Amino acid sequence: MKKLLYFSLALLLAGACKQASQTDTKHVVVSGIDNTKNPGDDFFAYANSIWYDTVQIPASQAGVGSYSFMNYPQRIRLQGILDSVSSTNSPAGSIEQKVGDFYASGMDMDAINKRDYEPIKPILVRIDAITDVPSLLKVAVEEQKVGDGSIIGFYVGPDDKHSSINIAQFYQTGIGLPERDYYFKTDSSTISIQNAYKKYLTSLFELTGADAATAEKNAKITYDIEKQLASAHRTNVELRDINANYNKLAVAALSKKQPNINWTTLVSDLGVKVDSVNVGQPAYYDKLNTMLKSVSINDWKIYLKANALTFYSNFLSQPFVDASFEYTKILTGQAVKKSRAEEMTQAVDRSLGHALAQLYVKKYFPEDAKKRVRVLVDNLKMAFETRITNLDWMSDSTKTKAKEKLHAFTEKIGYPDKWRDYSNVEIKRDAYFENRLSANKNDYLYDIAKVGQPVDRTEWHTTPPTVTAYNNPPLNEIVFPAGILQPPYFDLNADDALNYGGIGMVIGHEITHSFDDQGAQYDKDGNVTNWWTKDDFAKFKARTQQVIDQYNSFTVLDSVHVKGALTVGENTADIAGVAIAYDAFKLTAQGKDTTKLDGFTPDQRFFISIARIWRVKTRDEFMRMYVNTNPHSPAKWRVNGPLMNFTPFYNAFDLQPGDKMYKPEGERITVW
């Protein structure tokens, strides 16, 4: 079993590249290229097909490879840390004690199984005691405070029009399927997911004592309520409209408009004192206001029970965990459950992530990486500024504003300078359910304390070990956690071609998000305001429409296509990210050279690196959900899409008319 695990990890961690063994030729060797394929037909396959055709997706995973799927081997690293600290006696209140005891409490399935669903019985009793709409909302609010959002979607974040201040914000919620369209589509794949979800709800009711007929009836009631709520949801594409999602309204006026919700009491019960809130999707709350009267209290109680059971299922005994997985299996195609250790590592990362991260960066993150990535960021910004200067479609006045925004960036690399404090989280080695609630309560209090306060621009919104990068427009920041600063994205031993094609492309991508269809609506201070001339913005929109149209034509599975309108921001960032990274690479000594390594020119190595950082293989079920819900294009099109629009790629691999990726120069899209 151990041999199999280590073999799987080796496949996961192996990239295009391996370290040369000879000390006199120390560099990262590019290998595994499929020379039977024409790079101009399908560059993703040319660079990755040997790996793709032989790698096996671990049974406990929905996919394998780079980017988010690298979080699997990351969890093995974190698990090693947790195994160590959970088996030692650490001082009470220390980071090691909190994360170690949290992990140990979740690993003790014997103790968890003995409790069965006893930990949530008080919650179910509270729901049973509901007699009217006000008491219904009070229960919903109390559950919100421990992380169980049901009919009220609430968070705290910067005011989009006054980004230096945090405000109370509300969003559409109330559904259990991935997004609203899952309730209304009638294709066979969606129907099977709907049925699996209903079966899951039925199982949960049975596990808490209902007979089969009652459980099935309760599942139907729950599903019908969710479907009504879903009908008022905006689609994922509609949610990209930033201005439509900004509706700052007086609490008193909301209470008059939606009296059944009674916003004045709701906001007070949430523990915040404000006169106004942002309601992202007002139609949802109009619908909820109506349904609070049109749906019977008994049906609402069934719905709230179902919501609580789905939220807490993975905190409870094995039958609840199994029921949750049976649904997940249909949704993602994942064949077997993740190991309990992997699940618990994820749980610690979610609940005490910045504490665990301190142990991670101390063991795994070299400071030299931070320094070298800083140089890449500076070079990418310099390259992007030059591209802005050279744009032939933008006026000088808008160029000046764009450069001001670029110069105002905050860059976060590796990990925060100030770590989050978890001293208020009480962790006991024998109380997993209570540990989860304690961490969730702490998160809630941490968030509501920000309401009306200045935005903390040093705060990180992901944990440092996570393999990701992000742009946060209201803070005008780009963030590169320690987790992504490793191969295939970044390697201290790699030549510039590989690093600029790797993490350089990611940096360029994140920079561009400040100038994509959404980010371009924020100014240098993070406020949603128009800094464009009317003519320039019209030209910009025309170019992003070209991106939408092109990506709509890309096929993913049989008749499933990329959703161009959903993915336009990420695709724009991919197209520009490649170009910016290439320009920055050309500022280096290797970028100005033509000397081959491993038989490839510097430019060829750069483009191969781009193909390798999106080396991913997923299950078809997962990919169907991904296309419906994720704003990123599938991996193949994160490679081939940008490259078919980039002339230096044509030059590097001698693309010719007739090659499948070839586009006449006038049809190659350039936004930035």
47-70 pLDDT, tens digit per residue, is 999 999 999 999 999 999 998 899
Q: Report strand pairing: 470-472 vs 616-618.
A: unpaired
Q: Comparing 117-316 with 365-416+460-667, is the CATH topology the same?
A: no
Q: Of 86, 3, 5, 639, which Cα lies nearest the Cα of 339?
A: 5
Q: Residue 406's pLDDT is what?
A: 97
**Rounded Cα distance, 175 and 286, in Å:** 16
**Rounded Cα distance, 288 and 174, in Å:** 9
Q: Of 161, 177, 178, which Cα lies nearest the Cα of 169?
A: 161
Q: Sorting pLDDT into bands at 50, 70 and 90, what band is 558? A: confident
Q: Residue 12's pLDDT is what?
A: 33
Q: Residue 15's pLDDT is what?
A: 38
**Rounded Cα distance, 249 and 241, in Å:** 18
| pLDDT greater than 60 at residue 471 | yes
Residues 4-28 have pLDDT tens digits of 332 233 333 333 344 433 333 458 8
> Does CATH number 3.40.50.1820 belong to domain 365-416+460-667?
no
Q: Coil, strand, or helix at residue 654?
A: coil
What token pair was written down for 209?
């004592």
Instruction: Quickly list H helices, 588-654.
Output: 602-613, 620-629, 635-643, 647-653
Judge whether 322 and 343 are in contact, CB under 8 Å.
no
Question: Which residues on adjacent β-strands are paired with residue 472?
Answer: 477
| pLDDT greater than 50 at residue 548 | yes
Identity of the amino acid at 476: N
Task: Give mean pLDDT, residues 76-88.
Answer: 96
Q: How far apart are the first and last CA of the chain?
A: 50
Mean pLDDT of the chain: 94
Per domain, the residue ranges of the chain are 117-316, 365-416+460-667
Q: Please state which CATH number belongs to domain 117-316.
A: 1.10.1380.10
Q: Of 22, 250, 271, 240, which Cα lies nearest the Cα of 142?
A: 271
Instruction: Quickly list H helices, 495-619.
Output: 496-501, 503-513, 534-552, 564-585, 602-613
Identity of the amino acid at 616: V
Residues 276-316 have pLDDT tens digits of 999 999 999 999 999 999 999 999 999 999 999 999 999 99
Provide the strand spans (E) within 256-351: 276-279
- Which residue do the tokens 């079966």 mark? 199
Q: Residue 26's pLDDT is what?
A: 56
Query: 455-470 b/e with 16+ CB inside 10 Å = b?
Result: bebeebebbbbbbbbb
Q: Residue 23's pLDDT is what?
A: 32
**Element at 618 (helix H, strand E):** strand 616-618
Q: Residue 158's pLDDT is what?
A: 98
Provide the strand spans (E) within 195-347: 248-250, 276-279
Residues 320-346 have pLDDT tens digits of 999 999 999 999 999 999 999 999 999
Q: Of 645, 622, 632, 613, which Cα lies nearest the Cα of 63?
A: 622
